[in-house]
């Protein structure tokens, strides 16, 4: 059979058109997340230039029209002709897929994304893109339009100061690809840029939002991940100064910063080549293993742990621990469902060795801190044993309590978790309406009467003594703590239905805290939602229109013709709606609006929960005053 395709054909097949056909293959998704991914691809190239040692200043500007500029002060992309393509190197980088891989000889890329090959992908998915390279006193410029087509070859357009070097890329996402939105979220960009600055000590990254009066922030941390840990513990009481350990073996470097605080939760975040390894992996395993090993051996050595005592478990050793692990690897293998788990097996021992050595030395040299750390772990161990007893009791009590429990939960008829929904409803009266207004086949209602315990301030054993929490756990069917099994979740959607007022926001945050601390996999798997009852109802003629907020109201009113005479009213609270209204506005699968709760940035969420739920009053007040992530329409 003759060859039907030549090399050239394959080249064409792999061209930018392929990216536009299947954007998901290159950036994962064309949702808001994919949109932001475009920025990360370009920023990664700038960070690579910083890691190579040639750039220490990066600027990201969100323009009024949601185009974005990324500028670095590196060497500037090469401006010569590429021998293989016969095109300028710049045009090659922006129009040939995988150019970075093919053309980047020697050295290694350690930043995230597509390892520096993302520029062409971003170009392919943009309405237009401009690149400016500053080198040797000249500005080299090229513009692309409609998914990466060069308008003209690269050319020198103006002169610049001889000392000025660097690359600036400006692009506008193509709305026909990013159908959901092309509007950037300032916080999403700020959080990741801050993270990059923490992970790359000394790198200065500035974010400017021209949509918002040029609002700007500069991130630069000379202490690197030490300052990262300081931020994690900002609203907590630290037990000691931050411990920092680093080392390198075979070109693989490991850096760890850690500090215990007075809370009961652990915040451990690991990274490889600046990528958040949400699913952990060998670097994290190695450090955790070494932490448990060193704490036990030290505790035994100083006789705080007696010969007959049970060993401290990993969980005991991590209670109240804030830790950042950063690994730099020349050839990382990412595994797991979301490709965020480091798989390289050689890293486990390197991470464990590096951390053991540094941490053991620290304990020897700082016996007072060592003692307080061991005491904290031993307290955790005692609490764990108490919680185990309490859990066994709940289980037994659960059997006895079955009438009480099913008296509360109006379960759905379907036993198929994939179509079942659980509404957690604020108050008995809204609960009653919800039960009457629901689709009883698939919708279960659990009215919440009592106060939900603030689990930010409680360990598992105390959480389990709270009646409302026990009822929720029983309804979920997953168990909790060591007995947790996500696959036993009885509902595909857990929907929090609370009023849009202070009490409602408070209950919602308490529930989210509970889920975040004890049922994180449920949140991560995208099962948690907030119902969004409308704020206004607009009636004109026979038409009834419900809208979520002022913005939607004004938008809708603008669509009505001048002489429509209309009626507008603020909606009642959930408790005052009758079953039909509640169904119509908030529960009916075809009409309702749900907001999915994600743990996209666990660190930001952790911060929010700490601020909202922790001991410190000032950050909480400040947060509520300035932020509305989980508390929109707060009328305080
Ligand atoms: C706003 C985004 O993309 N910055 C970049 C450089 C510098 C070099 C380079 C980039 C060499 C052969 C691929 C310069 N001088 N910011 C950026 N800065 N790419 S991207 O080289 C590209 C490779 O083909 C650079 C000497 N070596 C490398």
pLDDT at residue 317 is higher than 70: yes
The pLDDT assigned to 11 comes to 41
Cβ of 52 closer than 6 Å to ligand 1, yes or no, is no
CATH number for the domain that contains residue 614 = 3.40.50.670
Given 219, 238, 273, which residue is the final one in a domain? 219
Cβ of 462 closer than 6 Å to ligand 1, yes or no, is no
Q: Which atom of ligand 1 is nearest to the CA of 58?
A: 1
pLDDT at residue 589 is higher than 80: yes
- ∠ at Cα 218 (214, 223), nearest 5°? 175
CATH number for the domain that contains residue 59 = 3.30.565.10
Q: Is residue 371 within 8 Å of residue 303, measured between CB atoms?
A: no
Cβ of 129 closer than 6 Å to ligand 1, yes or no, is no
User: Residue written as tokens 């670097």?
Assistant: 283
The Cα–Cα gap between 405 and 402 comes to: 5
Range of the domain at 346: 225-384
Using the mean position of ligand 1's atoms as its centre, give its distance from the Cα of residue 344 in Å: 28
The Cα–Cα gap between 427 and 497 comes to: 10
pLDDT at residue 76 is higher than 80: yes
The token duo for 327 is 């690994």
Q: Is residue 158 within 8 Å of residue 147, measured between CB atoms?
A: no
Tell me the average pLDDT across 279-307: 97
The pLDDT assigned to 392 comes to 65
The mean predicted confidence, pLDDT, of the chain is: 86
Q: Choose the weakest-confidence range: 193-202, 242-251, 286-295, 333-342.
A: 333-342
Cβ of 584 closer than 6 Å to ligand 1, yes or no, is no
pLDDT at residue 469 is higher than 90: no
In a domain, 625, yes or no: yes
Using the mean position of ligand 1's atoms as its centre, give its distance from the Cα of residue 22 in Å: 27
User: Residue written as tokens 């300032």?
Assistant: 186
Given 338, 355, 384, which residue is the final one in a domain? 384
The token duo for 544 is 């009834």
Cβ of 166 closer than 6 Å to ligand 1, yes or no, is no
What residues pair up with 494 in beta bridges, in sequence order? 422, 528
Residue 344's CB is within 10 A of a number of other CB atoms, namely 19
What residues pair up with 252 in beta bridges, in sequence order? 249
pLDDT at residue 234 is higher than 80: yes
Q: Which of 321, 346, 343 is nearest to 332 (CA)?
A: 343
- ∠ at Cα 345 (344, 350), nearest 5°? 100
Tell me the average pLDDT across 507-515: 81
Considering the domain architecture, whether residues 131 and 211 belong to the same structural domain is answered as yes
In a domain, 105, yes or no: yes
In a domain, 315, yes or no: yes
pLDDT at residue 601 is higher than 50: no
Q: Choose the weakest-confidence range: 165-174, 356-365, 578-587.
A: 578-587
Catalytic residue list contains 307: no
Minimal-distance CA residue to ligand 1 atom 25? 77
Given 164, 192, 219, which residue is the final one in a domain? 219
Q: Choose the weakest-confidence range: 129-138, 249-258, 559-568, 623-632.
A: 623-632
Using the mean position of ligand 1's atoms as its centre, give its distance from the Cα of residue 100 in Å: 9
Using the mean position of ligand 1's atoms as its centre, give its distance from the Cα of residue 76 in Å: 6
Q: Which of 116, 228, 221, 122 is nearest to 171 (CA)?
A: 122
Of 55, 73, 77, the residue with max ligand 1 atoms within 8 A of its CB, to mutate for a pocket test, comes to: 77
Q: Which atom of ligand 1 is nearest to the CA of 49?
A: 18
* Helix, strand, coil shares, percent, the chain, to 5: 40, 20, 35
Using the mean position of ligand 1's atoms as its centre, give its distance from the Cα of residue 274 in Å: 19
In a domain, 549, yes or no: no
Of 56, 71, 75, the residue with max ligand 1 atoms within 8 A of its CB, to mutate for a pocket test, comes to: 75
The pLDDT assigned to 461 comes to 75
Q: Is residue 203 within 8 Å of residue 56, measured between CB atoms?
A: yes
Measured in degrees and rounded to the nearest 5, phi and psi for residue 479 equal 75, -175
The pLDDT assigned to 395 comes to 54
Q: Is residue 189 within 8 Å of residue 39, measured between CB atoms?
A: yes
> Could you say which of 130, 174, 468, 499 is catalytic?
499
Q: Kindly indicate the confidence band of residue 459, based on its pLDDT and cuts at 50, 70 and 90.
A: confident
Q: Is pLDDT larger for residue 50 or for residue 550?
A: 50
In a domain, 244, yes or no: yes
Of 71, 78, 166, the residue with max ligand 1 atoms within 8 A of its CB, to mutate for a pocket test, comes to: 78
Measured in degrees and rounded to the nearest 5, phi and psi for residue 129 equal -150, 135
Q: Is pLDDT larger for residue 409 or for residue 117?
A: 409
The pLDDT assigned to 220 comes to 98
pLDDT at residue 388 is higher than 50: yes
Considering the domain architecture, whether residues 146 and 252 belong to the same structural domain is answered as no
155-159 and 138-145 as β-strands: parallel, antiparallel, unpaired?
antiparallel
Considering the domain architecture, whether residues 213 and 240 belong to the same structural domain is answered as no
Tally of domains within the chain: 3
pLDDT at residue 129 is higher than 70: yes
Sign of the alpha-carbon dihedral angle for 113, 116, 327, 216: negative
> Could you say which of 346, 416, 483, 503 is catalytic?
503
Considering the domain architecture, whether residues 122 and 180 belong to the same structural domain is answered as yes
Counting residues of the chain whose pLDDT is more than 70, the rounded percentage is 85
Cβ of 118 closer than 6 Å to ligand 1, yes or no, is no
Considering the domain architecture, whether residues 129 and 240 belong to the same structural domain is answered as no
The pLDDT assigned to 595 comes to 85
pLDDT per residue over 242-258, tens digit each?
Answer: 999 999 999 999 999 99
Q: Which of 570, 584, 593 is nearest to 501 (CA)?
A: 570
Considering the domain architecture, whether residues 64 and 147 belong to the same structural domain is answered as yes
Considering the domain architecture, whether residues 374 and 460 belong to the same structural domain is answered as no
Q: Kindly indicate the confidence band of residue 394, based on its pLDDT and cuts at 50, 70 and 90.
A: low
User: Residue written as tokens 């392919």?
Assistant: 124
Catalytic residue list contains 501: yes
The Cα–Cα gap between 309 and 311 comes to: 6
The Cα–Cα gap between 254 and 325 comes to: 7
Contacts of 389 (CB under 8 A, 6+ apart): 461
Considering the domain architecture, whether residues 230 and 215 belong to the same structural domain is answered as no
Tell me the average pLDDT across 486-501: 91
Catalytic residue list contains 416: no
Tell me the average pLDDT across 182-191: 95
Query: How far lies 476's CA from each of 298, 452, 454, 473, 491, in Å?
Result: 41, 16, 19, 5, 7
Q: Kindly indicate the confidence band of residue 467, based on its pLDDT and cuts at 50, 70 and 90.
A: confident
Catalytic residue list contains 503: yes
Considering the domain architecture, whether residues 188 and 301 belong to the same structural domain is answered as no
252-260 and 138-145 as β-strands: parallel, antiparallel, unpaired?
unpaired
Q: Kindly indicate the confidence band of residue 606, based on its pLDDT and cuts at 50, 70 and 90.
A: low
Considering the domain architecture, whether residues 432 and 375 belong to the same structural domain is answered as no
CATH number for the domain that contains residue 237 = 3.30.230.10
Considering the domain architecture, whether residues 34 and 153 belong to the same structural domain is answered as yes
The pLDDT assigned to 403 comes to 46
In a domain, 10, yes or no: no
In a domain, 201, yes or no: yes
Tell me the average pLDDT across 186-196: 95
Tell me the average pLDDT across 446-468: 76
Considering the domain architecture, whether residues 212 and 229 belong to the same structural domain is answered as no
Q: Kindly indicate the confidence band of residue 481, based on its pLDDT and cuts at 50, 70 and 90.
A: confident
Q: Is residue 350 within 8 Å of residue 285, measured between CB atoms?
A: no
Using the mean position of ligand 1's atoms as its centre, give its distance from the Cα of residue 212 in Å: 31
In a domain, 5, yes or no: no
pLDDT at residue 295 is higher than 80: yes
| Backbone φ/ψ region at 137: left (φ over 0), alpha (ψ -120 to 50), beta | left
Using the mean position of ligand 1's atoms as its centre, give its distance from the Cα of residue 77 in Å: 4
């Amino acid at each position: 059979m003759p060859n039907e395709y030549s090399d050239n054909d394959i080249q064409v097949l792999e061209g930018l058109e392929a990216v536009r056909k299947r954007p998901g293959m290159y950036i994962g998704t064309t949702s808001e997340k994919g949109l932001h991914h475009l920025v990360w691809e370009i920023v990664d190239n700038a960070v690579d230039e910083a890691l190579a040692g040639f750039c220490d200043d990066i600027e990201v500007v969100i323009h009024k029209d949601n185009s974005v500029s990324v500028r670095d002060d590196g060497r500037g992309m090469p401006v010569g002709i590429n021998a293989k393509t016969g095109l300028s190197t710049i045009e090659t980088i922006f129009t040939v897929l995988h150019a970075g891989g093919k053309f980047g000889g020697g050295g290694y890329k350690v930043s995230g994304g597509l390892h520096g090959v993302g520029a062409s992908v971003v170009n392919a998915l943009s309405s237009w893109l401009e690149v400016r390279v500053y080198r040797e006193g000249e500005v080299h410029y090229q513009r692309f339009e409609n998914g990466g087509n060069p308008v003209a070859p690269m050319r020198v357009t103006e002169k610049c100061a001889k000392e000025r070097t660097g690359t600036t890329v400006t692009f506008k996402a193509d709305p026909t690809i990013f159908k959901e939105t092309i509007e950037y979220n300032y916080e999403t960009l700020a959080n990741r840029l801050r993270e990059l600055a923490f992970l790359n000590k000394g790198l200065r990254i500035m974010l400017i939002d021209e949509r918002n009066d040029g609002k700007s922030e500069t991130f630069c941390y000379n202490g690197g991940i030490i300052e990262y840990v300081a931020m994690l513990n900002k609203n907590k009481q630290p037990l000691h100064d931050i411990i920092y350990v680093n080392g390198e073996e075979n070109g693989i470097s490991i850096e760890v910063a850690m500090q215990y605080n007075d809370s009961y939760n652990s915040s451990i975040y690991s990274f490889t080549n600046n990528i958040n390894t949400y699913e952990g992996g060998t670097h994290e395993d190695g450090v955790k293993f070494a932490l448990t090993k060193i704490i036990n051996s030290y505790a035994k050595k100083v006789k705080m742990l007696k010969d007959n005592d049970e060993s401290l478990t990993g969980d005991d050793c991590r209670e109240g621990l804030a830790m950042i692990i950063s690994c730099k690897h020349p050839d990382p293998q990412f595994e797991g469902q979301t490709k965020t788990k480091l798989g390289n097996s050689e890293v486990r021992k390197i991470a464990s060795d590096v951390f053991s050595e540094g941490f053991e030395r620290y304990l020897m040299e700082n016996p007072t801190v060592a003692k307080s750390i061991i005491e904290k772990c031993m307290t955790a161990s005692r609490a764990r044993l108490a919680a185990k007893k309490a859990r066994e009791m709940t289980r037994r009590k659960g059997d006895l309590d079955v009438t009480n429990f099913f008296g509360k939960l109006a379960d759905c008829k379907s036993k198929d978790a994939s179509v079942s929904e659980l509404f957690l409803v604020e108050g008995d009266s809204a609960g009653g309406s919800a039960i009457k207004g629901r689709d009883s086949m698939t919708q279960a209602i659990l009215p919440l009467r009592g106060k939900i315990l603030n689990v930010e301030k409680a360990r598992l054993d105390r959480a389990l003594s709270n009646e409302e929490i026990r009822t929720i756990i029983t309804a979920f069917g997953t168990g909790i703590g060591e007995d947790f099994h996500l696959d036993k979740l009885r509902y595909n959607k857990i929907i929090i239905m609370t009023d849009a007022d202070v009490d409602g926001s408070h209950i919602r945050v308490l529930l989210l805290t509970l889920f975040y601390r004890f049922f994180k996999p449920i949140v991560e798997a995208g099962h948690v939602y907030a119902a969004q009852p409308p704020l206004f109802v607009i009636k004109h003629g026979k038409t009834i229109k419900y809208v979520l907020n002022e913005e939607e109201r004004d938008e809708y009113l603008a669509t009505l013709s001048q002489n429509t005479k209309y009626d507008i009213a603020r909606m009642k609270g959930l408790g005052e709606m009758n079953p039909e209204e509640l169904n119509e506005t908030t529960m009916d699968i075809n009409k309702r609006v749900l907001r999915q709760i994600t743990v996209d940035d666990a660190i930001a969420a952790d911060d929010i929960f700490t601020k909202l739920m922790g001991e410190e009053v000032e950050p909480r007040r400040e947060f509520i005053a300035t932020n509305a992530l989980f508390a929109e329409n707060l009328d305080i």
